[in-house]
Amino acid sequence: MSSVTPDESGLAALTRIQRIHGQPGDRYEVIFVDQNGQPVIPLTEWYRLRASYGPVTTRETYLTCLLPFLTFLIERSYSWNAPPDQLRTALVEFYRDRLGCLIQPKKDREGIGIVPTRDTPLRDSTLRVFRAALRDFYLVLREEGLYAFANPLSSEGLIALKRIHVQALANRGAPDHAGIREETHEQSRRLPTAFVRYPTGKAWEPELRKEVADVREGMHKVLDAMIDSEQVPIREKAVLELLQNTGARLHEIVLMTVGGFKNEGIAGQAYVVNKGSYGRENKTIYFAHNPKVEQALTTYLEQVRPLHDPQRRKSLIDVENDEIFFLTERGPPYSLKSFYYHWYRCYEPLRNLCPVRFSPHDIRHLFITEFLITLKQECGAGTEGGIDREQYRREREAFGHTIMGWRSSTTIDIYDHSHDGEHALQVLGKLQQGFSQRHYQDFTPPFFLAHLEIESLNLADERTGSEPFSGLRR
């Protein structure tokens, strides 16, 4: 699923905190200060600690959301490390007074509902990111012993109820595929524990038009043209090969470390940071069966990376495992911003090769769709005996868990359901093609012929100046 970018303009208008950049080697790369020049210590500490928890892009996204709330606390002289009940009161005031939201107490008295209004300067998606950012802020500081209470964004009462509920389930220790657990692990995981809750929106679904065969073919044409182009740098070609062959998220590839690439000496696969893993490289991507991927990576390692390495190291043996695999031309770690610069520069001249515009994240969806199509064929789709449903279900779930790194076994259902719609679009296409080949010249309704005859007589009368024919009007 695509990452969410917060409404930076709406959030910036609520911010009075500035950042001061430190010198190389300083303990703090950034120090945050309020409008009086006083350091905002909790935010500065969180920013330093968050560097070891996950991607830089996530930290910056969360920071954008945290700045307005910390500004609010400072202006009202509220303490950031107060007990949860006091912080929740401040949180309600922030949603109501700064974001213009309606506050709805929940019947269980264990949380509040947040309803945006026309005065709310943020999208619904950004409100959800704000909640995640605030929860992350207190989670990190609590883990480091800087916040002494339970996370104020989580309801202790709901957590306790969830624990009791799970313990009371029949066969709670059984895996989902056994079919004897009272509810699936995903259903248990989704039981609410948040203090702040939003109206349930429509779940994300793949864009159906991008699942159709002609679009998939067009996407491959664009990708192949970019990889073959001399205008695309070797580094970006390696990233594109990994995107196309592994289904990994873009940030997982861009932020891959040298240790993750080495993967303890196992060729054809690498460790990357999975979504929600807090910086741990616990997901494996596989590319052993396409020699073009290995060739692209080897070319980058031998010809390009040593030129960008500040120490000009030519062997990965001399590089520390925690260093980023891809580097910018000036030597710092590669970034999403660097990739997108080259993507848009090289994609625009080629985008007409595909019927619709697509993004790098759509390459991930393309990979999943085509894997499922291939898997159905392997399980007997189109043969006399038909598809082996049980085999398909088992291998489909294994794909989601092993290759995609999804925690939920039901995430794959979203993509599988889209295939029914894809077939419907294909049938519609055939129907419309049939319409385009029909000819109407052979059949002209009698009333239409009569109308044409009358019009021709009227034109003739106008030329001769006689009274127009009006027999039908009588």
Would you say residue 57 lies in a domain? yes
- Whether residue 270 lies inside any domain: the answer is yes
DSSP-derived secondary structure for 90-151 = HHHHIIIIIS--EEEE-TTSS-EEEE--TT--S-HHHHHHHHHHHHHHHHHHHHTTS--S--
User: Are residues 136 and 224 located together in one domain of the fold?
Assistant: no
CA distance 331 to 328: 5
| Residue 460, domain member (yes or no) | no
User: Where a domain ends, among 402, 419, 436?
Assistant: 419
Confidence of residue 473 (pLDDT cuts 50, 70, 90): very low
**Residue 203 · residue 414 · CB < 8 Å:** yes
Compute CA distances 438 → 12, 429, 442, 443, whole Å.
58, 15, 10, 11
pLDDT of residue 421: 55
Give yes or no: residues 96 and 219 share one domain. no
Q: Does residue 35 lie in a domain region? A: yes
Residue 86 sits in the same domain as residue 224: no
pTM above 0.75, yes or no: no
pLDDT tens per residue across span 57-72: 889 999 999 999 999 9
Same structural domain, 158 and 218: no
Range with lowest mean pLDDT among 35-39, 176-180, 319-323 = 176-180
pLDDT the model gives residue 184: 75
Pair (384, 289) in one structural domain = yes
Q: What is the pLDDT at residue 141?
A: 94
Backbone angles phi, psi at 103, to 5 degrees: -110, 125
Least confident of 30-34, 160-164, 405-409: 160-164
Distance CA 373, CA 467 (A): 71
In a shared domain, residues 218 and 94: no
Domain enclosing residue 249, as ranges: 208-419
- The mean pLDDT of 352-367, rounded to a whole number, is 93
Q: Quick one: 218 and 163 in the same domain?
A: no
CATH number at residue 328: 1.10.443.10
- Per the rule left: phi > 0, alpha: psi between -120 and 50, beta: everything else, 438 is beta
Which pLDDT score is estimated for 254? Answer: 93
Whether 122 contacts 7, CB under 8 Å = yes
* pLDDT on residue 48: 93
Mean pLDDT of 227-240: 95
Could you tell me if 337 and 263 lie in one domain? yes
Residue 442 lies in a domain: no
Segment (H or E) for 420:
helix 411-436
Would you say 331 and 309 are in contact if contact means Cβ atoms under 8 Å apart? yes
For residues 77 and 141, membership in a common domain is answered with yes
Provide the domain count of the chain: 2
**What percent of the chain is predicted at pLDDT more than 70?**
79
Residues 28 and 103 in one domain: yes
Q: What is the pLDDT of residue 324?
A: 92
Q: Using an 8 Å Cβ cutoff, are 206 and 417 in contact?
A: no
Mean pLDDT of the chain: 82
Q: In terms of domains, do 124 and 267 share one?
A: no
Grade residue 295 by pLDDT with cuts at 50, 70 and 90. Answer: very high
The predicted-structure confidence for 14-52, as pLDDT tens digits, reads as follows 889 999 998 887 889 899 999 999 999 999 999 999 988
Does 385 have pLDDT greater than 60? yes
Indicate whether 124 and 216 sit together in one domain.
Answer: no
Work out the angle between the directed axes of helices 336-347 and 234-246 (0-180°, nearest 10).
Answer: 90
Structural domain contains residue 232:
yes
Q: Is 447 exposed, middle or buried (0-12, 13-18, 19+ CB in 10 A)?
A: exposed
